[in-house]
Amino acid sequence: MPITSRPGDDLRGRAHQLRRTAGAIDDSGADGLYRRAGVDTWMGPTAARCLDELTTARRQLHEAAEALRRTARQLDQRADQADALTRLTTARGLPT
Amino acid sequence: MTGYLGFDPQQLLMLRDAMQRSALHLGTISCNDIEATAAVGTIRRVQQQLAERWVPLISSMMECRAMTGYVPVQLGLGDLVTSRLGVIQSLYGWTVVTDPIAGVTTAVTTDQAQALGWVLSHRDIADLVSDVELAWLDRTMSAIEASPALSAAFMANMTRVGWSRLCTRLGDDRIALLADQAITGRLNDANHDRLADIDAVFRSLGAILAGDHGPHHSAEPVWLDESMSPYASALLIQSLRLERDDLVATATTLIQRYRRGGWADVQRSGPGTADLLMQTMLDTPGAAAAFLRRAAQDPALVFDAAHSAVLTERFVLAGTNPAAISIVEAGAIVPALVLYLRDRYNNQAGFYGQHDVNTSTFTIDLIAPWLLQFTAAHSSDWALQPGEGATLLGSVIIDNAAFTELMARRELIATGLATAIAGRTSDVSLAEQSRHAGQDLAAVLGLIDTLARRQAITNTVGSNELWDTGFSLISAAASFIPGGLTTTVGSGVALNGLRAVLTAQGIAPKSSGAVTHDTLFALDWMTAVAAATVVCAVFDQMVADGRVAAGTPTPPLPDPTTPAPGAAYSAAFGAWLDHVSIGEQALVLDGLKQTIMSTHEAERNAVELTAG
């Protein structure tokens, strides 16, 4: 019996891709750079500016990853809804 | 902002490598989904920051390329502004380079506070506190003061030597600035800012010490360290919020040290050590009186210490105000201060040549509220011999001018009299209250009588002053006679009659006719009026509460037209008592009248006997 793809599979594929991107952000190591850039390493106006930028970058990357995961969840929900709709119309003999 | 960049080469290398790895990793991330557009934009931006800005910059610094603006330097340990980097460079082998980035402010950190304490404690800053450094120190100390953690870090490295050196240096600076200001009339903008910075630093240092609950409190406080100038200690103390007794003990120690000499503020203009301490004590409730109790043993501590005679006078009068001290406490202070001032009167130069206090007015200000305690009747209040107080008083009130000054303080005298009477009015009968009030009134009048006779008051101004003083005292005492505080001269039927007599004589309100009597007559008349006032007030009260029938003839009034008003009043009063039927109330009124007239005479006699 041949395997048939479900209508929601494309959406699930996109969600997977977004989660993988979010995971790659997490694994980049950029999240912990600010800890290395404190006064144990260097100090002065340049050091202060660098620390500010790394702290900001950390926050922005974290927000980006979260946004990707949130979007992935929404895509999964849409996929489930699409599959459910297909099953319903098939059972009632309606054209899909 | 220091203008320098310090770094640990090993740590910085690790940071750069981590940045490189992150940049590489971020560069591998890709996602074509439309929903990932914003996230990918963020990833690219961060990757670019790391790869194109920070990694090259750090690499450049590690290679010590002077063309980039990051030039290696060796910091001195005496520079306050770069104290933190200087300490780290010296102790931990960090590399320091110039930092071309400007306009970035950095918050004070714990290690910066520690480093500042270390530098202040281990380096001589005598010639290093420039205007820029001082402004920086002001901002930094303000930040340290505001944070308990930073304060603790600062205190951890700040030694007694550091405190002494910094405070004495800044204190000497302040003295010089104020001396310049006194000479030239103003400070230029730079020095004006410098003075403000110094004061702000002292406020911060004082606040840090005030909030310190660490081990420093177990030893002698740093502000009492012998190596710190008394002036610097006094500046610190302004912000310490010491308890009254601690403040007074500290001020005594510092003023004693200051008077040993050799300090920068001794010969300079502007507020000195004692001025600062006196002002701080004036701002601390009860401290002025407590200090004067100590200074009574050595009045030079108060009279030969401050630069400002005005401040000294204000301090002494605040500390000897009847509202601030008890009669017994005043007995330990006022006579000692008066004696000191009297003895110094013939030797006008102060210990350091400062302006002498104006004895003719200030001593009288000091005496006036306590005149009752100088009387023979109250000699036991201050452990004086009967008449001793008046003798001391007579050695200060040595001429007409001084007597006039004393009379001009009639309100102070009356307030002192009222305070003394009020202090004894509880738990005694109304008749006793009246008798005490009458006695006190007569005692003060008798003392004034004695002083007036010595000065032979014959001029119009002097007589007017005498009259005004007498009636201020009568009015003050009358307010404590039965009927309560609402009873004053002229309020009842009998008193209205007395007021009519006084008005007719031009006494209330005054006219030139009131001073046609000679002094002897005037004082005799005043005593008669005092007795009549008390008698009339009590009589009115007796009528009001039914002890005396309404319609009873009112007591007689003194007759100013007779040659001897006192004797005439006594005779008229005796005749009135024989005529009216008021039962045992007659004994009360007769007792009051006798109390006033006899106390007045007894006071005068006691003084004159002592005076020989």
Closest residue to A44, CB basis, from B5, B29, B46: B5
Model confidence pLDDT, tens digit, residues A30-43: 988 999 998 889 88
CA distances to B236, B257, B263 from B227, in Å: 14, 11, 11
Cβ pair B11, A53 in contact under 8 A = no
Environment class of residue B371 by beta-carbon count within 10 Å: exposed (0-12), middle (13-18) or buried (19+)?
A: buried
pLDDT, position B428: 63
Q: What is the 3-state secondary structure (H, E, C) of B159-184?
A: CHHHHHHHHHHHHHHHHHHHHHHHHH
String of DSSP letters for B534-603: HHHHHHHHHHHTTSS-TTPPPPP---TTSS-HHHHHHHHHHHHHHHS--TTHHHHHHHHHHHHHHHHHHH
Question: Cα–Cα–Cα angle for A83, A87, A93, nearest 5°?
Answer: 140
Segments of B17-160 assigned E as strands: 95-98
How close does chain A come to B7, measured CA to CA in Å?
A: 4
Contacts B8 to A, Cβ<8 Å: 40-42
Radius of gyration of chain B (CA): 38
pLDDT, position B511: 36
Q: Which of B65, B161, B78, B154 is nearest to B115 (CA)?
A: B154
Model confidence pLDDT, tens digit, residues A52-62: 899 999 999 99
Closest residue to A17, CB basis, from B14, B26, B33: B33
Cβ pair B117, B155 in contact under 8 A = yes
pLDDT, position A18: 94
How close does chain B come to A2, measured CA to CA in Å?
A: 29
Beta bridge partners of residue A43, listed in sequence order: B6
Contacts B19 to A, Cβ<8 Å: 33
Contacts A40 to B, Cβ<8 Å: 8, 11
pLDDT, position A73: 95
- Strand B95-98 relative to strand B4-7, pairing: antiparallel
Q: pLDDT means per 10 residues in chain B (612 residues)?
A: 76 92 93 91 93 87 61 67 74 76 62 82 68 80 87 87 88 86 80 87 88 56 83 90 90 90 69 92 93 92 87 93 88 90 65 51 87 82 81 79 80 81 66 71 74 61 64 69 43 54 47 43 71 78 83 83 79 89 84 73 57 47
Is residue B136 helix, strand or coil? helix
Contacts B18 to A, Cβ<8 Å: 29, 32-33, 36
Contacts A45 to B, Cβ<8 Å: 1-3, 5, 99, 101-104, 106
pLDDT, position B376: 78
Cβ pair B154, B201 in contact under 8 A = no
pLDDT, position A9: 87
DSSP B398: -
pLDDT, position B347: 57
ipTM metric: 0.91
pLDDT, position A26: 93
Can you tell me which residue has the tokens 């330097």?
A: B73
B167's tokens: 């405070």
Contact A27 B25 (CB under 8 A): yes
How close does chain A come to B116, measured CA to CA in Å?
A: 15
Contact B42 A60 (CB under 8 A): yes
B271's tokens: 């507020």
Contacts A13 to B, Cβ<8 Å: none
pLDDT, position B514: 40
Minimal-distance CA residue of chain B relative to A42: B7
Contacts B104 to A, Cβ<8 Å: 45, 48-49
* Residue of B30, B55, B99 to mutate for A, most A C-beta atoms under 10 A: B99
Closest residue to A24, CB basis, from B1, B29, B101: B29
B505's tokens: 């004589």
**AA letter at B347:** N
Closest residue to B29, CB basis, from A25, A50, A75: A25
Q: Measured between CB atoms, does A55 come within 8 Å of chain B?
A: no
> How big is the A-B interface in CB pairs under 8 Å?
128
Could you say which residues from 67 to 96 on chain A have a Cβ atom under 8 Å away from some Cβ of chain B?
67-68, 71, 75
pLDDT, position B473: 74
Q: Where are the alpha helices (DSSP H) in B213-283?
A: 230-237, 244-259, 273-282
Cβ pair B413, B568 in contact under 8 A = no
Contact A53 B35 (CB under 8 A): no
Contact A67 B84 (CB under 8 A): no
DSSP B268: S
- Alpha carbons B333 and B327: distance in angstroms, whole number: 10
Minimal-distance CA residue of chain B relative to A29: B22
Q: Measured between CB atoms, does B92 come within 8 Å of chain A?
A: no
Can you tell me which residue has the tokens 């009288």?
A: B364
- Alpha carbons B371 and B306: distance in angstroms, whole number: 27
Q: Measured between CB atoms, does A22 come within 8 Å of chain B?
A: yes
- Alpha carbons B535 and B437: distance in angstroms, whole number: 12
How close does chain A come to B148, measured CA to CA in Å?
A: 20
Strand order in B4-7's β-sheet?
Answer: A42-43, B4-7, B95-98
Question: Cα–Cα–Cα angle for A25, A30, A36, nearest 5°?
Answer: 160
Q: Measured between CB atoms, does A32 come within 8 Å of chain B?
A: yes
pLDDT, position B101: 64
Contact A30 B22 (CB under 8 A): yes
Q: Write the CB contacts of B331 (distance below 8 Å, at least 6 apart in sequence).
A: B373, B381, B382, B383, B384
Predicted TM-score of the model (pTM) = 0.64
| E strand or H helix at A16 | helix A9-26
pLDDT, position B360: 65
Is the dihedral angle over the CA atoms B109, B113, B119, B122 positive or is it negative? negative
